[in-house]
Structure 1
Amino acid sequence: MKHLNKLFAAGLLFAGLTSQAQNGDNPWAVSFGANAVDTKVSADGNSSPQFIQLLNARDNWNILPSVSYLNVSRYVGDGFSVGLTGSVNKIDKWLERVPGTDNTDAILNPGDLSYYAVDAVIKYSFQDLIKSTWLDPSINVGGGYNFFGDASAGTVNGGLGLTFWVTEGIGIQLQSTYKHSFDENRVADADVPTHIQHFAGLTFRFGGKDTDGDGVYDKDDACINEPGLKEFNGCPDTDKDGIADKDDACPEVAGTPEHNGCPDTDGDGIIDNEDACPEVAGTKIMNGCPDADGDGVADKDDKCPTVKGAKDNGGCPWPDTDGDGVLDKDDKCPTVVGTVANNGCPEVSDEAIKKLNDYAKTILFNSGKSSFQQQTYPVLQAITAILKEYPSSKFSIEGHTDSQGSDSLNQKLSEDRAGAVKTYLIENGIDASRLTSAGYGETMPIDSNKTAKGRANNRRVEVKLKK
């Protein structure tokens, strides 16, 4: 008995370590407690119990005031479990027929017979059927071998049980088992009577595997290695947004189901981690940013957010400084009024060309040279001023001579004089890309070379507009 008491204490310690579970989760169960043996038989002596007297423990029950039974069982599925029960007791109440009477039983003391029993049990639980988390009625069948003092025999068993689950894994167990013996005699220490054995004790279920210790057993845990929540089948919900991390596109930031667990702070339909402006409602085409003026440039990048403009000008409209209808970005003469046809620059008029050539005809060179006479510089300055009025126009400077001298000398002289004019213009601010020069010698006279006046007219510089 001393050892059974130690077993009871160990069981209580074990109960403190067991987790809550259903039978399918924790398939093993250990039960222990006290038992009572009732040897009451019916009046006809056929070893059938009088159930109406089962609760008359004071008269009929043999009780050992200690831990006196131990049951180990294994859940096998569909409400069924199989197990083995060992029990001990001391029989000091033995009921048998009073000799010479027809229907009188007497309670005798057979001499404190030792009682031992080993029983195999098949139990069916109704807990799932009644859908209760705490009330667990059951029935059981099986067989065993019983010792009454020196007598021993096998029995066929059947019984009823009721367990009250204090937690899902710890219960208070009550059970009564009818043990039918085929030994019909009732001689103490010589026979094993049909009897009823009652049990009252604690039962503990265990054996389920919970790798991550989250209270959800591995067989039901969708995230076996991560502690989680029962409502998510054992998976975590780090941001507590009601979406399990395994299904949450943003597991560390609370979001909404329609965005797979990601937040949309500004409510524009674009999740924050894809929204370039997460706190200001915008449009998808602007990556979640607003575009107040509708010019295709997000306000955050728009230098003129309230005025519709061009993308390549930072969202601002292009200026037209000279007001000629050609935007500065396309206007080659942005500060001078021009025409669209001439890229915003003024077009050279026939009058301007005539004026250029009137000036050019008065350019005087030193005789036989390409150097200018002093009085020619004002003329060259006037030509320069006219060319600056047409900054996008290109001109050709052409040199001509009279027929005096050899052709080769005249050709070279005409080229040098045209080049001298070009050089002067460049040195005084005319872009070199706008000018070309050529010499034609005496090949293109405009007057007769037979007179001094005619030869003077043939020695000339002409300025022509290149188109």
Structure 2
Amino acid sequence: MKHLNRLLVAAILFLGVGVANAQDENNPWAIEIGVNAVDVYPVGTSEGGRIDPSLRGDYFDEYFNANDHWNILPSVSKLGISRYIGSGFVFTAVGAINRIDKIGDAPADDLSYYSADGEIKYSFRNILNGPGGWADPYLGIGGGYTWVDDIGFGTANGTAGLKIWFTDNLALNLQSVYKRAFEDTYGITHFQHSAGVVFQFGGKDTDGDGIFDKDDECPETPGLPEFNGCPDTDGDGIEDRQDACPNTPGVAEFNGCPDTDGDGIADPQDECPTVAGVAALNGCPDADGDGIADKDDACPNEAGPAANNGCPYKDKDGDGVLDKDDQCPDVPGTVANKGCPEVSVEIIKQLNEYSKTILFDLGKATIRKESYAVLQNIADIMKEYPNARFEIEGHTDSQGSDELNQRLSNDRAASVRDYLTTIGMDGSRLTSIGYGESRPIATNATKAGRQQNRRVEISLKK
């Protein structure tokens, strides 16, 4: 029955650890397995105590005299479970067993020893070493219940110790607890020293990056310790949260973005990211310095105004009309005719000298082959006046009906127009019309006069 009571007290203490901290799943657990030593001698004298004062020393007298005063069970004799509360505080539940063969300076009759304790400890690790330091000194207070053979009594506990961390999870714990018995008549005030191995576990690491969520500023995205668990996807030393270009390595000067062409303008703002340029043109170059980016400059190596697409104003044909305004930049012309040559009376006369010699099959609009050379001469002259428009006129003599003559004159004028387009003339510059017998230039009473009236004429269309 007495053993059942002891186990019940220990179970309540251990249950208290889990209930007190179940709300904070990010705080780690720790378990300790070790050995303990019970020492009654260096606890001071007590007039009414159970132990003869002559068997004890003064406080801390012969504190390290393990040979004469320490009771040690040569096996695993201590089990502790801890839970981190926060702000450097840890709650620990500890159970221990031992065998007592000396009480102070007096021998004992191999008494059984059991204890169950709860402690609140404060760690100075972060204060002395910063997070992750190997030295972890601590102080604590608490209470518990101790049984020596058949006698049980409560104690108030004061704890001092040092954990030496070998890894993030493994440490050696050296501890001394002063246990003041509440019962002077039968309680035994004593020190309990211990050494144990501590294994820390239970921290939550959602993203699996080795950094617990409580310390991870990006708990759902794998990251790096130097960025408190946040990622640096492009590996440029700038964490993604501060990186304007998280997938492309860059420099801090441009918030993590690159400057590929080294012109001092970050690539996202650089319209020409692979060619060094100037800020005024959004990172694009201006080789001729005319203020127009090379990519928009029709003459990138010659300075010119934007109105002329970055090219200098020129007058290639020397006619006094700048190329930008010259509709015929390769042919000298007149200002009045927008830089194109004007068709003179003499040119029209020359065209008509040729056109009068054009021959057709009798009563048809089919041009005879011997007239092809004449038509080529006509086309060559017309091409010298690229903005001039010409009208081809068809005329007949008075023989035959008016209807027949009108149709024949229309067809012959159209036939000439069509042929000229086949040898390079722009059809939009040519029109054709037939006048039939309505515009004779000679008498129709003679053969010679009728021959003159059967003709093709060319006029300048205004």
TM-score (norm 1): 0.69
Q: Is the 8 A contact 2:308 2:324 kept in 1?
A: no
Residue of structure 2 in register with 1:55 after alignment: 61
When residues 51 and 274 of structure 1 are mapped into structure 2, their CA distance, relative to the original with a 3 A threshold, is farther
Residue of 106, 109, 128 corresponding to 1:108 = 106
Q: Which stretch shows the higher mean deviation, 437-446 or 154-163? A: 437-446
Q: Is the 8 A contact 1:123 1:139 kept in 2?
A: yes
Deviation at 1:38, TM superposition (A): 0.8
When residues 27 and 312 of structure 1 are mapped into structure 2, their CA distance, relative to the original with a 3 A threshold, is farther
Deviation at 1:439, TM superposition (A): 3.2
Name the CA distance, whole Å, in 1 between partners of 2:244 and 2:233.
12
Q: Is the 8 A contact 2:33 2:76 kept in 1?
A: no
Secondary structure at 1:109's aligned position in 2? Answer: strand
1:401-424 CA deviation, whole Å, 9 max, x = no partner? 555665445545655665676577
Residue of structure 1 in register with 2:257 after alignment: 262
Deviation at 1:245, TM superposition (A): 3.9
Residue of structure 1 in register with 2:203 after alignment: 209
Residue of 70, 73, 82 corresponding to 1:74 = 82
When residues 42 and 214 of structure 1 are mapped into structure 2, their CA distance, relative to the original with a 3 A threshold, is same
Name the CA distance, whole Å, in 1 between partners of 2:100 and 2:182.
19
> Structure 1 residue 219 and structure 2 residue 211: aligned?
no
Q: Which stretch shows the higher mean deviation, 41-50 or 335-344? A: 41-50
Structure 2 gaps, min length 5: 1-24
Q: Is the 8 A contact 1:91 1:115 kept in 2?
A: no
Name the CA distance, whole Å, in 2 between partners of 1:180 and 1:270.
76
Name the CA distance, whole Å, in 2 between partners of 1:25 and 1:76.
6
Residue of 120, 123, 127 corresponding to 2:120 = 123
Q: Is the 8 A contact 1:26 1:205 kept in 2?
A: no
> Structure 1 residue 91 and structure 2 residue 106: aligned?
no
Q: Is the 8 A contact 2:303 2:312 kept in 1?
A: yes
When residues 202 and 388 of structure 1 are mapped into structure 2, their CA distance, relative to the original with a 3 A threshold, is closer
% of aligned pairs identical? 42
Deviation at 1:109, TM superposition (A): 2.5
Deviation at 1:117, TM superposition (A): 1.8
Residue of structure 2 in register with 1:44 after alignment: 47
When residues 424 and 73 of structure 1 are mapped into structure 2, their CA distance, relative to the original with a 3 A threshold, is closer
Name the CA distance, whole Å, in 2 between partners of 1:413 and 1:158.
133
Q: Which stretch shows the higher mean deviation, 112-121 or 438-447? A: 438-447
Deviation at 1:398, TM superposition (A): 2.6
Q: How does 1:174-323 map to 2 (within 5 A)?
A: 174-180=175-181, 182=183, 184=185, 192-209=186-203, 211=205, 214-224=209-219, 228-237=223-232, 239-245=234-240, 247-251=242-246, 253-272=248-267, 277-278=272-273, 280-283=275-278, 288-294=283-289, 299=294, 305-308=300-303, 321-323=316-318
Name the CA distance, whole Å, in 1 between partners of 2:458 and 2:179.
135
Name the CA distance, whole Å, in 2 between partners of 1:412 and 1:41.
146
Residue of structure 2 in register with 1:10 after alignment: none
Residue of structure 2 in register with 1:393 after alignment: 388
Equivalent residue letter for 1:201: A
When residues 235 and 438 of structure 1 are mapped into structure 2, their CA distance, relative to the original with a 3 A threshold, is closer
When residues 466 and 142 of structure 1 are mapped into structure 2, their CA distance, relative to the original with a 3 A threshold, is same
Secondary structure at 1:234's aligned position in 2? Answer: coil
Equivalent residue letter for 1:28: A
1:247-280 CA deviation, whole Å, 9 max, x = no partner? 5454465423453422224444544477565454
1:398-457 CA deviation, whole Å, 9 max, x = no partner? 344555665445545655665676577668765555444433233234577679998787
Name the CA distance, whole Å, in 2 between partners of 1:355 and 1:159.
129
Q: Is the 8 A contact 1:289 1:299 kept in 2?
A: yes
Q: Is the 8 A contact 1:85 1:121 kept in 2?
A: no
Equivalences, count: 423
Q: Is the 8 A contact 2:297 2:309 kept in 1?
A: yes
Secondary structure at 1:352's aligned position in 2? Answer: helix
> Structure 1 residue 155 and structure 2 residue 154: aligned?
yes
Name the CA distance, whole Å, in 2 between partners of 1:224 and 1:376.
93
Q: How does 1:344-363 map to 2 (within 5 A)?
A: 344-357=339-352
Q: Is the 8 A contact 1:172 1:201 kept in 2?
A: yes
1:191-224 CA deviation, whole Å, 9 max, x = no partner? x442212303135141232546654213322444
Q: Is the 8 A contact 1:400 1:440 kept in 2?
A: yes
* RMSD of aligned Cα (Å): 4.9
Q: Is the 8 A contact 1:60 1:93 kept in 2?
A: no
Structure 1 gaps, min length 5: 1-22, 95-106, 185-191
When residues 130 and 323 of structure 1 are mapped into structure 2, their CA distance, relative to the original with a 3 A threshold, is same
